[in-house]
Structure 1
């Protein structure tokens, strides 16, 4: 049964794109100094579908979703790669060398 009223159970990730006016920098160059971009509410992001600035409440949620996804990806990349086979045996200490050091037989 599809929900017909009330807020969504989960926040959906919207398609966002860099602001065409500021190029995603959130500021535009003035004559003497940089000014906050008014087209994207100084966020650097607009709706990819319409090109309009997102409401601030939606923008905060979308940036949080993207930040959490990026943090998750960074954590995945930080995990050590588990080696198997000859490479793993060569790298770990087997205690067969002098003073219980690694002996590879090379």
Structure 2
């Protein structure tokens, strides 16, 4: 297998899932109080498939990748739908009011 020029310089993107023990809450219920989950190091996330515990430095990087992907998806969804339905007609000028101003019918 031929190694690409940039392959060694990129951080691998790991698939993270919620911790099955604490169910993503980062704490487990003890007898009298909540304890930090030892299976996910109190983060609520583990590596998919292997259920490995990530070191904190790597966990911060992987969570940042996950957050950036979620923000890109949110931006894409907002761009596709934009304003639809009644709010679109309410906010765009229709020049039907007095002197060509916006008339909303309120």
Task: Name stretches of at least 5 consecutive residues in structure 1 with no aligned partner.
Answer: none
1:61-76 equivalences in 2 (<5 Å): 61-76=61-76
Using the TM superposition, name which of 34-43 and 73-82 deviates more.
Answer: 73-82
Q: C-alpha separation between the residues in 2 aligned to 1:45 and 1:30?
A: 20
Q: RMSD over aligned Cα, in angstroms?
A: 3.0
Normalised to the residue count of structure 2, the TM-score between the two structures is 0.69
Q: Could you say which structure has the larger radius of gyration?
A: 1
Using the TM superposition, name which of 7-16 and 30-39 deviates more.
Answer: 7-16
Deviation at 1:33, TM superposition (A): 0.6
Call closer, same or farther: CA 1:94–1:17 in 2, change over 3 Å: closer
Deviation at 1:21, TM superposition (A): 1.2
The aligned length equals 97
Normalised to the residue count of structure 1, the TM-score between the two structures is 0.69
Matching residue of 1:81: 82
Deviation at 1:82, TM superposition (A): 7.1
Q: Say whether residues 1:20 and 2:20 are aligned partners.
A: yes
Call closer, same or farther: CA 1:101–1:48 in 2, change over 3 Å: same
Task: Name stretches of at least 5 consecutive residues in structure 2 with no aligned partner.
Answer: none
Call closer, same or farther: CA 1:64–1:95 in 2, change over 3 Å: same
1:1-106 equivalences in 2 (<5 Å): 2=3, 8-79=8-79, 81=82, 92-95=92-95, 97-102=97-102
**1:14-72, CA deviations, whole angstroms, 9 ceiling, x for partnerless residues?**
12221111111110001111000111111111111211212222211110100111222
Deviation at 1:81, TM superposition (A): 2.5
